A and B are shown apart, each in its own frame.
Chain A
Amino acid sequence: MIVEIGHYALTLALGLSVVQCVLPFWGARVRDPALMAVAAPAALGAFAAIAIAFAALTCAYIVSDFSVVNVVENSHSMKPFLYKISGVWGNHEGSMLLWVCILTLFGGVVALTRNSLPERLKALTLSVQASVTIAFLLFILFTSNPFARAVPAPFEGRDLNPLLQDVGLAVHPPLLYLGYVGFSISFAFAIAALIDGRIDAVWARAVRPWTLTAWVFLTLGISMGSYWAYYELGWGGWWFWDPVENASFMPWLAGTALIHSTVVMEKRDALKVWTILLAILTFSLSLIGTFLVRSGVLTSVHAFATDPERGTFILIILMIFIGGSLALFAWRAPMLRQGGIFAPISREGALVLNNLLLSTACATVFIGTLYPLALEGLTGGKISVGPPYFEMTFLPIAMPLIAIMPLGQTLAWKRGNLLGAAQRLMAAFALALALALVVLAVTRGGPVLALLGVGLGFFALFGSLSEIVTRSWSRGMPLSTAWRRARGLPRSAWGTAIAHAGIGVTVLGIAATAWGVESLAVVKPGETISAGHYALRLDGVTPYTAPTYRANVARFSVFRGGVPTGTLEAEKRLYTPRGMATTEAGLMTRGLGQLYVGLGEEDPTGGIGVRLYWKPFVLLIWIGTLVTAFGGGLSLTDRQLRIGAPARAKARRAQPGDGQADALATS
């Protein structure tokens, strides 16, 4: 019964979404509050129904109900419990269900917000949101129904793709989807504003927390995915410019531009049209990302769905939403009133430059990802656009972007003083330069680009922090006062500084990859392989059997300069239900660097192929992204009321209680 209840709940959600789409829209057109008020309960109802459906599917996975085709194809009764649950979204159908579940979750949260949204905007937003839900529910029900049954139930399932049997999978897709789908709210807001023909700072304030939430989750999701690929695929790389990675990276770039342009819009009532366009584009890129991954146009680890029917369906959805929204934009955008003016050199100007660079970067990634597809579609020729392309095109855009990042943060709103801003950053710049020189001295050389990266990373790091320092401390001020003032700064200012610093940290980690060492060898037990200062001795290869796989574990003793520093294990697994082999990289963290061991083929003479990497400071890449996401989250906890002072000062937190506390603190 449980499975069928889930199935019915899914169709019920479709019914509710239809109502949620039609009635509030009608209500908003004729300005009838009663009809608009339908939106909220309908949105909550749709969420509840899809949550029931999702719970039912999860339940079927947990009890290994092999009368459900989806469970048979992606589960195994012997699989560890965690992977039974994560297996729910480790496949096409389940992940689409998770997609709509998160979509309606966001809708439900919007429905619950009170007093921060104009009623009409809320009704229209939920209505647009519902139209997306309808499209995806139809897609799920007709082309990829997770509740299809198998009669009679087979005895054993076919197990989940072994690459996906990992803690990373339990976390990566939900985070990524929270990000992707979160942008649907910004999209719905943008379309609602276009339909309504009204857009102002209130709109920007309303949309900003959603965009920020989505962006934080997307950042975490991409970061998790990258770390997962790093240790699971066994190639030692952390980013491959794989189309699927690009698919999540493009919305991130556009979303980053969006959160910056919304700030301008909220504070200065400018960049309205551009912001709307960005909101549409960001979600469109999320949809394209879904399309790229789900339709099987790309052959990749992620393309667990390879079905032309689904591809066509998603393509139609894409055309309706992207084409429709852009058409609406072209029609309505000229009617929007332009707002505040600003000098080219100002915080706004810097943010415009940021937007320009980010969207250009996004466009280069877009071209690199889709050009091979388009070419193949038109001429049948296959080309592959690899990392060299992206390094040649993306880096020259990203580097100036990071370089101006601290500068933009230091400039004043409306009209800024470039010289003054530069002076304030001198200390950070000098420090970064000095550290880059220290690195040069210590490593005795290294690629120019990497050194540049180191300098850039340090500059971004110190530049972001110097913003906090200069705002809270001036010469001759006692440190305690400075500390009080720093604590009194709005959380959004802290959030900005921390997020930017995180980017700096990531850049440092990326630059440090240039000093990585790698070696490849066939090693027999007792022999050693070395990279950098480290030598690894293979102690032996022992087999062991787990419920769904057999594995060979290679144990290594690690020596640094002849001194034993521990042991390390790497595995090669054969998953019996699918007959698929995977590798589990052996990792040893030393400081911020990692020793990375990937196992290759076994040699008939008893040796085993070993790839050994020493990756200095590699953890900084992910630590940086975590810091960045934390900054975003911190900014989110700021009261969402911000003021548009045409000067550098940012918002005060507006809660009365906090206000008093601050007043006490500063007096």
Chain B
Amino acid sequence: MTGASVLLVLWPLSRRQQAAGGRVDDKAFFRQQIADIEREVARGLLPESEGEAARTEAGRRLLRAMDQQTQEGDQKGEPALRRRRAASAIALSAIPLVALTLYGALGQPDVPDAPLSKRLAEGDPRSLNLNEAVARVEGHLARQPEDGRGWEVLAPIYLRAGRFQDAVRAYGEALRLNGASGTRLANLGEAMVMAGDGVVSAEARTAFDKALAAEPGNAKAGFYLALAAEQDGDVAGALARLRELLASAPADAPWRPAVEARIAALADPARSEAGQAIAGMAPEDRMQAIRGMVAQLAARAAAGEVGLDEWLRLIRSYAVLGDRTEAAKALASARERLAGDDAALRRLDTLAGELHIERESAAPPAEERKTEGEP
């Protein structure tokens, strides 16, 4: 490109010049004017007298133009030659000099193009960070909002990323597009519970009821309905549901330990007695009493007098009271105390996942990458 530009400029410098055009132009212009006036007069568009005046004026201008022309003939002398050499040198040096210097200072020749198609072709989905994956699926769904499978894929990702409202929407779309099924309804309900900070709302309960109706043995729906009963203060009902669930569960069901833990927690006689008593109090007193119990439990836990079940109850209590930092703290201490007991640690993890106490800890890799990407 540079070479072409330089040649382009050098070409006229080396060319032999034809006669300069300026003078010819001027005279031609005024002659043309006079000729036009003649034609106008001839056609009768211009009265003879006015035509005469116009002709005189144009003629005067023609004379002046001829006078004014200074001699600027072809210059072939020594100074002209030297001048052209200098000009060629300027052209030859200035163009590459300006272009290369500036480009050198500003350009980034080593950065390759990165069109979307290329980035998509290169990008192994696994190497994408979570945000990019979500962005890609979202983009796809924006184009084809009727793709139920896409919503189905996106929903659990939202759930894991803590975007509960989006998860509710995504599960809802999946439900609408793919038809009702026990699993989908239960998932929608779960998302609603999480969006509601762990409280099973009436809406969510409806979803779980429908899920059970569609698929009688649905474990997730059963579990959350038990939770709902528990939140209503109906411990017996909750226990009944959980036991039923456990009875029908296959021996290797991954959620078995979680259900067992719930049953153990609910069936704790101390808790149930106290629970009955508390249920009968006025709301303010009830909160007071609960807090008192939690504080007692915490004190015992801090003293190291408690086992796994109490730890679980303590963490859950904090979560229910809405004190997430305390819950996280309790979780951390429980992990410390129970280190070495793999089964216990798994239970703690399950609970943490259920209550979303530690969801930040799952995210760091994605977060880090994100900050790198945005300097």
Contacts and interface: CB of A to CB of B under 8 A. Distances in A.
A569 interface: no
Interface in A259-278: 269
Interface residues of B, number: 83
Given A152-B373, A156-B135, A65 B115 contact: yes
A18 B90 CA distance: 10
Interface string B1-29: 11011001101110101001111011001
B83 A35 contact: yes
B54 A33 contact: no
A516 B25 CA distance: 56
Nearest to B103: A11
B114 A643 contact: no
B117 A63 contact: yes
Given A19-B90, A37-B17, A647-B54, A545 B142 contact: yes
B247 interface: no
Given A12-B5, A644-B33, A37 B12 contact: yes
B36 interface: yes
Given A200-B61, A645-B51, A666 B43 contact: yes
B84 A34 contact: yes
Contact of B9 (A16, A652, A662): A16
A119 B20 contact: yes
B40 interface: yes
Nearest to B374: A154
Given A649-B45, A662-B43, A118 B22 contact: yes
B43 to A, nearest CB: 5
A67 B26 CA distance: 54
B106 A198 contact: no
A641 interface: yes
Given A155-B132, A652-B36, A654-B32, A77 B116 contact: yes
B12 A41 contact: yes
A319 interface: no
Contacts of B43: 652, 662-663, 666
A382 interface: no
A153 to B, nearest CB: 4
Contacts of A202: 25-26, 29, 65
Interface stretch (A1-9, A244-252, A398-406): A1-9
Contact of B95 (A15, A60, A153, A201): A15
Contacts of A67: 111-114
Interface in A411-451: none
Interface stretch (A42-50, A173-181, A534-542): A42-50
A154 B373 contact: yes
A9 B2 CA distance: 9
B103 to A, nearest CB: 4
B366 interface: no
A120 B22 contact: yes
Given A34-B15, A647-B50, A141 B106 contact: yes
A344 B342 CA distance: 107
A3 B44 CA distance: 63
A498 interface: no
A15 B373 contact: no
B87 A23 contact: yes
A207 interface: no
B135 A155 contact: yes
B contact patch SS = helix
Interface stretch (A24-32, A359-367, A384-392): A24-32
A121 B253 CA distance: 92
Contacts of A201: 29-30, 61
B322 interface: no
B176 to A, nearest CB: 14
B91 A23 contact: yes
Interface in B102-145: 102-103, 106-109, 111-117, 119, 128, 131-132, 135-136, 139, 142-143, 145
Interface string B296-319: 000000000000000000000000
A469 interface: no
Nearest to B50: A647
B20 A645 contact: no
Interface in B42-100: 43-47, 50-51, 53-54, 57-58, 61, 64-65, 68, 70, 72, 74-75, 80, 83-84, 87, 90-91, 94-100
B98 A31 contact: no
Contact of A78 (B32, B57, B109, B142): B142
A237 interface: no
A145 B103 CA distance: 12
Interface in B321-357: none
A659 B39 contact: yes
Contacts of B65: 200, 202
A607 interface: no
Contacts of B374: 154
Contacts of B145: 545
A152 B128 CA distance: 13
Contacts of A26: 83, 87
A66 interface: yes
B99 A11 contact: yes
Contact of B58 (A19, A77, A643): A643
B102 A141 contact: yes
B32 A4 contact: no
B72 A33 contact: yes
A643 B107 contact: no
B1 A12 contact: yes
Contacts of B35: 654
B37 interface: yes
A7 B115 contact: no
Contact of A651 (B9, B36, B116, B132): B36
A66 B116 contact: yes
Contacts of A576: 142
B8 A45 contact: yes
Interface of B: 1-2, 4-5, 8-9, 11-13, 15, 17, 20-23, 25-26, 29-30, 32-33, 35-37, 39-40, 43-47, 50-51, 53-54, 57-58, 61, 64-65, 68, 70, 72, 74-75, 80, 83-84, 87, 90-91, 94-100, 102-103, 106-109, 111-117, 119, 128, 131-132, 135-136, 139, 142-143, 145, 373-374
Given A3-B113, A33-B17, A652-B40, 15 more contacts: A1-B112, A15-B96, A34-B80, A35-B13, A37-B15, A38-B9, A38-B13, A42-B8, A77-B116, A121-B22, A151-B108, A151-B111, A155-B128, A155-B132, A649-B46
19 contacts: A3-B113, A8-B103, A12-B2, A15-B5, A16-B95, A33-B72, A34-B15, A41-B12, A119-B22, A200-B65, A201-B29, A269-B61, A643-B40, A644-B58, A646-B50, A646-B53, A649-B46, A652-B40, A654-B35
